[in-house]
Amino acid sequence: MKVGDLVTLSVYGANLDSIPRKFSTRYHTSYVEPIGVIVRKEEHQGYHQLSDNESVRYYIHWSTEGPSGRYHYSNYFFRNDLKFVR
């Protein structure tokens, strides 16, 4: 994934406990996927060893209503939280 790609939440990302219920596929039969564009990609180097998934953070600008971030206190997502829009 790169800056400028159109993305939405993957099934994994939508079903995280930290994502609000209105964006979760578990609770809605008529789920409308939020659509956004990657505005920033950040390589993160922590003090401990990070997985390939956690080493890159993606910042999304949602064109429709979307969650602010992976956690309620953050504004980024990991790669497995997102998928390309088809």
CA 5 to chain centre: 13
Q: Name which residue leads in pLDDT, 14 or 80.
A: 80
pTM confidence score: 0.81
Task: Produce one character per residue of 58-78: b if its CB has 16 or more CB atoms within 10 Å, e if not.
Answer: bbbeeeeebbebbeeeeebbb
Residue 53 has pLDDT above 90, yes or no: no
DSSP 8-state assignment for residue 23: G
Helices (H) and strands (E) in the chain — how many of each? Answer: 1, 4
Cα 73 to Cα 30: distance, rounded to the nearest angstrom:
28
Instruction: Give the pLDDT score at 25.
Output: 64
pLDDT at 78: 92
Greater confidence, 41 or 55?
41
In angstroms, rounded to a whole number, what is the distance separating the alpha carbons of residues 71 and 17? 9
